[in-house]
Structure 1
Amino acid sequence: MGLFGSKAPPLVGIDISSTAVKLLQLSQSGGRYRVEHYAVEPLPPNAVVEKNIVEVEAVGEAIKRAVVRSGTRLKHAAAAVAGSAVITKVIPMPGNLDEDELEDQIQLEASQYIPYPIEEVSLDFEVLGPVQGNPDMVNVLLAASRTENVEVRQSALELGGLTARVMDVEAFAMENAFALIADQLAVPRDAIVALVDVGATMTTLNVLRAQRSIYTREQVFGGKQLTDEVMRRYGLSYEEAGLAKRQGGLPESYEIEVLEPFKEAMVQQVSRLLQFFYAGSEFNRVDQIVLAGGCASIPGIAEMVEEQLGVPTIIANPLATMSLGPRVQAHALAQDAPALMIACGLALRSFD
């Protein structure tokens, strides 16, 4: 099974993050997508640490619960490995090779690019197109991940009653979902857009130019810091704090003393990530910021980022133009939508 996969039965997208399993199933008719089934199922603390699955049984159980709760009947899934676990390289190759010859050649070349023993690695490749100024050569995107990263995800899906048909890369899944929100942006299609996904423990910057990813970077920061502070300050359990964050019911001091400083910290993280990008590229600005992930749902955060960084900022909603199946609750989905970018990108693999 390759990292990119080929035409196959319809797939359910499964995003395994540090705090939850997110399941999304889409259908398509007449060029429009429809959300058929979805579920977000929380994971026990430390079952997944910084995108590494530590307790595969706990993750499998959560996938099983998500399948039941969502009502999906599909048995094939698309999942993804995190960017930090994947090496991607664009390498030029002779354009006259057929698929098998190309595969053999890449196996030979790959060892130069990959710092692990080649027998411990899952490889896949995709031909991007001719090399500029050299029509006899093609650019090939090589993606490699340690086999254990892929296998532990396959095992978790199997425990949850699903078969992994596609193993993608989170950044590519994001890019896939980004195509859905590109039309909501007030910038030209070739603009430079910073997609910032602020999850529970990790924040990922994905910079896209003309809708293709040109830079990614991860750093440890996320909503768990806010949850921890709520636990500490108000003497709540992890579950209670998470619930209170979403549903309210905290003392008035929460907004000013806890939430505001967290929002300030989040703006600083976005700013820092952009500084890394500017320092490592020829660019010194982005045209638009798109906030995704669970923390994007914090009221007023987009306005704060826009005001302090001087860049137009919106909240990602990859499902904005989709119709909803009878099993889907519109209100819950709207709240979860910014956190469903990866799940959405994976669910879209059904229509490749």
Structure 2
Amino acid sequence: MFAGLKKTNQNALIGIDFGSNSIKAIALSKGRGTFQIDAVAEAPIAKGLIVDNHFEDITKLSQIIKQLRKNFPASYQNAAIAVTGADVITKVMPMNADLSEIDLEAQVELEAENSIPFPLDEIFLDFEVLGPNAANKELNDVLVSAARRETVLSQVDCVEVAGLKVKVVDVASHAQARACELLFERDDFDKGIAFIDIGASQMMLNIMHQGNVIFSRSKNHGGAVCTQMMADHYGMSFSEAEKVKVEHNWPVDCDIDVVAPFINMTVNHLRFDLRMFTNTPNNIQIDKIILTGGCQLMPELVKQLEEELDLNVEIASPFPGFEYKNESDNVLLQKVGAKYMLALGLALRGVQ
């Protein structure tokens, strides 16, 4: 997405999602009118290698990418990655519709200098014209994205040291939205659709309307909070508690003493964030919620969200209509496909 990284051949991309708990990747191709999953893989990473979306040890992470790459066909040499967190800012700015491309670029830089809290020489800056402004047809809405150079380049270095070439750098919320659009019904385009990604250490809420992300919020909250609560309650190490949690092999009283409080905490966070959206000056009602990420695998969370928010809640499952090069990938994604939505959204950049 960002300048210097976008005007390249995007074919045959591996979408790589750097999470604080694991790295997930998907290779995607298109033929005979449908998508095909050519490979999918996940590799765990040690706690502390990625903290608040910052890479603490590029050498170790590159070694993990090298191992992950062995699961993919040799023809896949290029990758798409995403940036997120406090080092990334996106804004929709109304600008004169008559501006030439050169003048528009200059105007974007001027507006960014005044409204983005990073020095211009420390960021990658990109923009996309979304279309006419709803209130004034003489203006266009322009999506402006800015990311700290240090954040982008640390990811790029990590991937390229592992032997892949980064062809696309996207914003995580945009990539997830791209994947979530595969789930939309015909009339969802004009509705407000909230998609919520609950990962290991970050929970992201994005609301889509007419193909655009119109509201975003993120919190340092996710599955790692539940793991730590479990570790503290039962006197386990973090790794022991993570294994118990993932395998659902927890003590009988864990549902009441640990899981229920964690779900209540998660629902309260989401209720607050959704209220922030409803308090913004718009007339868009949220019609349904789509859950992504590993933490949505807790069925109790889905039930409680539906009951307390009075909204239809779906677990993202974009893969049933896909073809698969390997049947084992089909089996995996039927179970945990929602964890791979960001990687999927990135891989889609190479086939759309």
Same fold (TM over 0.5): yes
**What whole-Å deviation, never above 9, does each CA across 1:266-320 have from its counterpart, x for those lacking one?**
2222212212222234358521111111111112321221012211111112323
SS in 2 for 1:140: strand
- Alignment partners' CA distance in 1, 2:103 and 2:81: 28
Work out which of the residue numbers 142, 152, 155 in structure 2 matches 1:153: 155
Q: Which residue of 2 aligns with 1:189?
A: 189
Deviations along 1:167-222, one digit per CA (max 9) or x if unpaired, are 10011111111111113x9x643111111111111111101123321100011211
> SS in structure 2 opposite 1:287?
strand
The answer on 1:322 being equivalent to 2:322 is yes
Of the structure 1 ranges 80-89 and 147-156, higher mean CA displacement relative to structure 2 is found in 80-89
Residue number in structure 2 paired with 1:126 = 128
Secondary structure at 2:299 match in 1:
coil
Alignment match, 1:205: 205
CA distance in 2, matches of 1:156, 1:274: 35
Aligned-partner residue type, residue 21 of structure 1: I
Check if 1:166 corresponds to 2:182.
Answer: no
CA spacing shift, 1:329–1:202, aligned 2, 3 Å: same
Shift in Å, 1:94: 4.3
User: Could you tell me how far apart the structure 2 residues matched to 1:95 and 1:285 are?
Assistant: 29
* CA contact 1:178–1:211 (8 Å) conserved in 2: no
C-alpha separation between the residues in 2 aligned to 1:88 and 1:215?
Answer: 10
- Name the amino acid aligned to 1:224: A
Structure 2 residues without counterparts, runs of 5 or longer: none
Equivalent pair of 1:226/1:259 in contact (CA under 8 Å): yes
Gaps of 5+ in 1: none
Shift of 1:98: 4.5
Partner of 2:145: 143
Q: Which whole-Å CA distance do the structure 1 matches of 2:283 and 2:85 have between them?
A: 22
Match of 1:42 in 2: 44
Q: Deviations over 1:99-130 (max 9, x none)?
A: 44543443344322322221111111122223
1:52 to 29, 54, 59: 54
- Contact 2:52–2:85 (CA under 8 A) maintained in structure 1: no
8 A contact 2:198–2:292 mirrored in 1: yes
Work out the percentage of aligned pairs sharing the same amino acid: 31
Aligned CA distance change for structure 1 residues 134 and 304 (closer, same or farther; 3 Å): closer
Aligned residues: 350
What TM-score does the superposition give when structure 1 sets the normalisation length?
0.90
Residue identity in the other structure for 1:175: A
**Contact 1:18–1:201 at 8 Å: present in 2 too?**
yes
- Does the Cα contact within 8 Å between 1:297 and 1:335 map onto a contact in 2? no
Q: Is the 8 A contact 1:81 1:150 kept in 2?
A: yes
Contact 1:83 1:169 survives alignment (8 Å): no
Quote the residue 1:66 is aligned against: 68
| Equivalent-residue separation in structure 1 for 2:138 and 2:286 (angstroms) | 34
Note closer, same or farther for the CA distance 1:332–1:242 as it changes in structure 2 (3 Å cut).
farther
How far apart in 2 are the matches of 1:97 and 1:189? Answer: 29
Letter in 2 for 1:173: A
Specify the alignment match of 2:311 in structure 1. Answer: 311
- Equivalent pair of 1:36/1:327 in contact (CA under 8 Å): no
User: What is the CA RMSD across the aligned residues, in angstroms?
Assistant: 2.4
